[in-house]
Amino acid sequence: MIVQTTQKSKEQLHKELLQPDVVTGSEMLLRSLLLEDVDCVFGYPGGAVLYIYDAMHGNPNFNHLLTRHEQGAIHAADGYARSTGKVGVCIATSGPGATNLVTGIATAYMDSVPLVVITGNVATSVIGTDAFQEADITGITMPITKHSYLVRDVNDLPRVIKEAFHIASTGRKGPVLIDIPKDVSNAKAAFYYPEKVEIRGYHPTVQPNKLQVDRMLEAIAEAERPVILAGGGVVYSDASKELLEFVEKSRIPVTTTLLGLGGFPSAHELWLGMPGMHGTYASNQALQNCDLLIGIGARFDDRVTMKVDGFAPKAKKIVHIDVDPAEIGKIVEATIPCVGDVKAVLQMALPKVKPSRSEAWIKEVTENKRSRPLRYKDSDTELKPQYVIEMIHETTKGEAIVTTDVGQHQMWAAQYYKFNHPRSWITSGGLGTMGFGFPSAIGAQVAHPDRLVVSINGDGGMQMCSQELAICAINKIPVKIVVINNQVLGMVRQWQEIIYDNRYSHIDLAGSPDFVKLAEAYGVKGLRATNKEEARRAWQEALDTPGPVLVEFFVRKGENVYPMVTQGSTIDEMIMGDSE
């Protein structure tokens, strides 16, 4: 686990690192990362980065976690970044090492996660010759990075690293790639780390236009049925406190997107739940019947809007607050566009915001929330996945950091785990990356060694990253790993049942390994539950056990996620499921 550096020793370390010594590019890289206060780098070595790994040898100040796959490294860096708000860092070699990062880069790009991704490359003298383990990683990743660098001169390396961290962590956050040829990592030059960054043409808008904020406040004063759609931007801008104050002053109900969960307290009377394809009845009805829609740090993803031309049809005005001007009007036309950092926008609005005329509306949406809650048919003979999530929430009191993989278990976790705090929910929203959940939990746990981190996975996604069990055992990373095992690709099966007339095609995972034995093979304690009594006993044992534990919950194969809105439908055309 990471040993946190004290402030005094960090200041002393910085002073030592800033000495203008003549060093290699590899030493420049390590010094620069330490000057950016990087706690841990996740990575996997190979030929093109051996000079860099050689520089790590014997360096007591540099923390590196060796994963078992490059994709595990980047997902761990992603989990670290989402749970802290800091820039996550990973490293891989050239060719296949670099291309193994592509899915993780795309995952971070879609969800606006700040990463600095470092790859090695072949020597500059052979770039473009199809040399051994050469890949044009800057070209390959151009559509899925905020920016990328191919460093050909060692003298440029410190500036490039400084710029990369600045770009990754400002404006709409995202991944930046630095590709370092092998000869550059071994070349020597005098080290100088710039104090500030000046990038021509890169000046993200942080402070909003006051006129647009005033227009939003006027719309709120006139509205009778307002609703806020709060997205991941609320979490990423650390604006949860401001949103809560804004909501309590304006008296506007709130629905939070998948990535916005935790950005507004789930116990609040004005929280309606998650909207969209698997959203709550109250949220979807509120969006469809509001007269004012305020999108805050949300990009109106298709899983939220569903049929776009039938989305929020009664909204006379739509406010869209986003730090990325390219998002405003991209999917849903905004009558009041507001470009700026969510925190800055809310801070500007707070002194002047007044209550909307929403009390009758609040009664209506609250009654929808009360009368049509999330529900499922419980069973005394079968273990239901929703029950497992409820049990995890009950025992952790909503205080854990929860990561998920992608599929049915992800939606059940989003529905039935209630979040008290921002940055306590980590999931792949935009790209929907299977294999993300467990490695991201490792990154979150490294960042928060004293907090409980729970990784909720399906039996499909767990097999895409199970090799990372090794690093939990070796490094005593105490993640509690949940496998919701229904022996099938559950979400695909659900779609094939409902949309494809029960034509089940290539979804059977019955040949999966014994996850308990798999965990034990890696040196991690494994437990199994097939009913409620076993589930509670096994989960409590996991919580009481120091170190990592995997708990496999065998659940009903045919269970579906409800509510559900099928593609081509509006969000109020909901299939409510067996409970209706």
382: amino acid identity, one letter: E
Residue 460, Cβ density class (10 Å: 0-12 exposed, 13-18 middle, ≥19 buried): buried
Where are any strands of DSSP class E within 182-258? 188-190, 226-230, 254-256
Nearest to 296 by CA among 260, 266, 321, 315: 321
Report the distance separating Cα 174 and Cα 182, nearest Å: 26
Domains of the chain: 10-190 (3.40.50.970), 210-371 (3.40.50.1220), 385-561 (3.40.50.970)
User: Taking the mean position of all CA atoms in its chain, how far away is CA 369?
Assistant: 27
The tens digit of pLDDT for each residue in 19-76 reads 889 999 999 999 999 999 999 999 999 999 999 999 999 899 999 999 999 999 999 9
Q: Specify which residues 44 forms β-bridges with.
A: 92
- pLDDT tier for residue 17 given thresholds of 50, 70 and 90: confident
Report the distance separating Cα 444 and Cα 453, nearest Å: 7
Positions marked catalytic: 70, 132-133, 182, 491
Q: Residue 435: how many CA atoms within 13 Å on its side-chain side?
A: 20
Q: Specify which residues 552 forms β-bridges with.
A: 483, 528
Q: What is the mean pLDDT of residues 9-22?
A: 87
Residue 8 has a pLDDT of 55
Distances (CA, A) of 303 to 268, 300, 429: 24, 8, 10
pLDDT > 50? residue 2: no
Residue 9 has a pLDDT of 79
Residue 4 has a pLDDT of 47
- pLDDT tier for residue 309 given thresholds of 50, 70 and 90: very high
Q: What percent of the chain has pLDDT over 70?
A: 98
User: Taking the mean position of all CA atoms in its chain, how far away is CA 553?
Assistant: 24
- pLDDT tier for residue 579 given thresholds of 50, 70 and 90: low
Residue 312 has a pLDDT of 97
- pLDDT tier for residue 163 given thresholds of 50, 70 and 90: very high
Report the distance separating Cα 373 and Cα 8, nearest Å: 52
Strands 88-92 and 41-44, by their bridges, are parallel
User: 257: which DSSP letter?
Assistant: -
Average pLDDT of the chain is 96
Residue 578 has a pLDDT of 66
Cis before residue 563, ω within 30 degrees of 0? yes
Residue 402 has a pLDDT of 98
Strands 22-24 and 188-190, by their bridges, are antiparallel
Strands 425-426 and 188-190, by their bridges, are unpaired
Q: What percent of the chain has pLDDT over 90?
A: 95
The tens digit of pLDDT for each residue in 337-386 reads 999 999 999 999 999 999 999 999 999 999 999 999 999 999 998 999 99
Tokens linked to 489: 């690709």
Q: What is the mean pLDDT of residues 214-221?
A: 97
Q: What is this structure's pTM?
A: 0.96
pLDDT > 80? residue 1: no
Q: What is the mean pLDDT of residues 314-333?
A: 97
